[in-house]
């Protein structure tokens, strides 16, 4: 599916690493960036006076901060006959208060001329994701680097790009709206169960077969289901908003907040269940013996056990022939939960759709004997060293098949 291009959302960006003077308000009241040639390419040579800008700090799961503050782009030597000295002044705000030296800063200009200041902590997963989205490498320093997205500099968007865009509060465009409306129209204003929705997505992609390419099939299924879900969600949310939020003739703020929270929670929970559904279908089609959600020790319930629950419970069954697979659409810090599951299995596997996980996190996984499984199409969001360690879906299936045949 095609979701447009990066140029639909940005005309260009500049990026750098924050210096101590720029980040530490206790050391300096500077509150401005020197107007380098790169900034001039982004903002142009016309004065911008107190334009509202969006500041975003991507600190981690449920830790992001968003604030609005005015910025001014001006020539400090505008009356000098031969010299100019451009500067970008920003008002202190909640994001600049927490930014630190070394953090990644991206100043992005949108087609509407809105400016976004995106800050991600150094060496974090979110930094990797933002750098990948905008085509940045890890050689950034204290000087700005410009990236434009017009013509040959443009990039097409996909399922992974949209995931990162949502991290910075941009709702991607919905592709093939007419086709999706026709498919979800049967549900009216109600969400079906996740199993029904997952099966519906696969039925509408008859050309996709995990026997041809398991990695590509898994991504295609989850991408199409996500598009279906968002389309149905749009209709349901629109109907609820049209009905309004009133209680006893006054604005029902609590009702609105509860509804908004339910929308966000549904998005998070449905993605994880959808991924499990498609993994289960893939295993079934390929004839891989497995048990989904089988109980092991205590209250532990690994997402998938191989070859099954009976073999795991049999103390005489060779533990080296057992496998487990945790499934989490996104990780953040939740990957450690898998370590406590299926105690008989020393080396555990975890499947995720999270792009660009930090090297700090993957090194922790290696030290804890956890092997990350990532669909091949997402490997490009990781560093070369990480990609050499990652296992793709086909690789995991081959491992399970070899153990089953032993």
- Report the share of the chain in percent with pLDDT over 70: 98
Give pLDDT, residue 328.
95
Domain identity same for 237 and 359: no
Q: What CATH number should be reported for the domain holding residue 129?
A: 2.40.330
Confidence of residue 174 (pLDDT cuts 50, 70, 90): confident
Of 264, 282, 300, the position where a domain reaches its end is 282
Place of tokens 């990780």: 331
Task: With a cut of 80, say whether residue 249 has pLDDT above it.
Answer: yes
Q: Are 157 and 132 in contact (CB under 8 A)?
A: no
Mean pLDDT of 283-292: 97
Domain identity same for 129 and 244: no
- How confident is the prediction for the chain on average, in pLDDT? 92
Three-class secondary structure of residue 135 per DSSP: coil
**Best mean pLDDT range from 58-62, 161-165, 331-335:** 161-165
User: Which H or E run contains 305?
Assistant: strand 304-306
Give pLDDT, residue 30.
65
Nearest to 368 by CA among 337, 395, 330, 390: 337
Residues 6+ apart with CB under 8 A from 187: 232
Domain identity same for 271 and 298: no
Domain identity same for 15 and 152: yes
Task: With a cut of 90, say whether residue 60 has pLDDT above it.
Answer: no
Q: What CATH number should be reported for the domain holding residue 243?
A: 3.40.91.80
- Counted domains in the chain: 3
Over the stretch 29-50, which tens digit does the pLDDT of each residue have?
568 898 889 999 999 999 999 9
* Residue, of 73 and 79, whose pLDDT is higher: 73
Give one DSSP letter per residue of 314-328, joined into a string: -TTS-GGG-EEEEEE
Task: With a cut of 60, say whether residue 308 has pLDDT above it.
Answer: yes
Q: Are 149 and 11 in contact (CB under 8 A)?
A: yes
Mean pLDDT of 283-311: 95
**For residue 4, is it within any domain?**
no
Domain identity same for 47 and 83: yes
Q: Are 176 and 3 in contact (CB under 8 A)?
A: no
Domain identity same for 271 and 329: no
Over the stretch 157-166, which tens digit does the pLDDT of each residue have?
988 899 899 9
* Residue, of 198 and 28, whose pLDDT is higher: 198
Give pLDDT, residue 107.
97
Domain identity same for 84 and 106: yes
As to burial, measured by CB atoms within 10 angstroms (0-12 exposed, 13-18 middle, 19+ buried), residue 235 is middle
- Report the share of the chain in percent with pLDDT over 90: 76
Domain identity same for 21 and 138: yes
Domain identity same for 262 and 361: no
**For residue 162, is it within any domain?**
no
**For residue 56, is it within any domain?**
yes
Task: With a cut of 80, say whether residue 63 has pLDDT above it.
Answer: no
Domain identity same for 130 and 15: yes
- Copy the structure tokens of residue 279: 């993994």
User: For the stretch 257-280, what's the b/e string if a residue is b when 16 or more beta carbons lie within 10 angstroms of its beta carbon?
Assistant: eeeeeeeeeeeeebbbbbbbbbbb
Task: With a cut of 70, say whether residue 356 has pLDDT above it.
Answer: yes
* Residue, of 203 and 22, whose pLDDT is higher: 203
Residue 297: give the domain boundaries: 291-405
Domain identity same for 45 and 152: yes
Over the stretch 7-28, which tens digit does the pLDDT of each residue have?
999 999 999 999 988 887 665 5
As to burial, measured by CB atoms within 10 angstroms (0-12 exposed, 13-18 middle, 19+ buried), residue 292 is middle
Give pLDDT, residue 220.
96
**For residue 25, is it within any domain?**
yes
Task: With a cut of 90, say whether residue 195 has pLDDT above it.
Answer: yes
Give pLDDT, residue 344.
96
**For residue 170, is it within any domain?**
no
Domain identity same for 278 and 295: no
Place of tokens 């999270």: 354
Give pLDDT, residue 333.
80
Over the stretch 114-145, which tens digit does the pLDDT of each residue have?
999 999 999 999 999 999 999 997 778 889 99
**For residue 269, is it within any domain?**
yes
């Amino acid at each position: 599916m095609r979701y447009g291009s990066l140029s639909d959302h940005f005309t260009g960006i500049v990026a750098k690493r924050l210096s101590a003077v720029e980040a530490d308000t206790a050391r300096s009241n500077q509150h401005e960036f020197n107007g380098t040639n790169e900034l001039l390419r982004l903002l142009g040579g016309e004065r911008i006076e107190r334009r509202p800008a969006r500041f975003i700090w991507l600190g981690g799961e449920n830790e992001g901060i968003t604030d609005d503050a005015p910025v001014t782009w001006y020539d400090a030597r505008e009356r000098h006959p031969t010299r100019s000295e451009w500067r970008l002044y920003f008002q202190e705000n909640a994001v600049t208060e927490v930014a630190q030296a070394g953090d990644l800063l991206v100043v992005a200009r949108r087609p509407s001329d809105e400016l976004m200041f995106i800050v991600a902590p150094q060496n974090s997963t979110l930094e990797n994701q933002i750098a990948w989205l905008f085509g940045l490498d890890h050689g950034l320093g204290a000087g700005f680097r410009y990236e434009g997205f017009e013509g040959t500099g443009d990039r097409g968007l996909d399922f992974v790009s949209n995931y990162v865009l949502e991290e910075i509060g941009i709702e991607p465009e919905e592709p093939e709206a007419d086709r999706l409306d026709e498919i979800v129209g049967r549900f009216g204003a109600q969400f079906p169960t996740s199993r029904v929705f997952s099966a519906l997505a696969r039925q509408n992609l008859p050309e996709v077969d995990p026997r041809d390419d398991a990695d590509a099939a898994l991504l295609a299924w989850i991408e199409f289901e996500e598009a279906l879900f968002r389309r149905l969600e749009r209709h349901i949310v629109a109907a609820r908003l049209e009905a309004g939020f009133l209680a006893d003739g006054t604005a029902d703020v609590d009702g609105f907040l509860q509804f908004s929270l339910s929308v966000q929670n549904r998005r998070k929970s449905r993605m994880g269940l959808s991924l499990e559904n498609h993994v289960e279908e893939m295993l079934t089609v390929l004839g891989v013996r497995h048990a989904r959600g089988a109980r092991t020790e205590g209250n532990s319930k690994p997402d998938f056990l191989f070859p099954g629950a009976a073999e795991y419970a049999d103390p005489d069954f060779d533990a080296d022939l057992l496998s487990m697979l945790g499934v989490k659409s996104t990780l953040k810090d939740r990957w450690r939960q898998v370590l406590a599951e299926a105690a008989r299995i020393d080396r555990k596997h975890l499947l995720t759709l999270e792009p660009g996980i930090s090297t700090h996190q993957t090194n922790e996984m290696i030290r804890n004997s956890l092997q990350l499984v990532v669909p091949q199409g997402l490997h490009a969001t990781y560093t070369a060293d990480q990609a050499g360690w990652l296992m793709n879906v086909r690789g995991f299936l081959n491992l399970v098949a070899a153990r089953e045949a032993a």
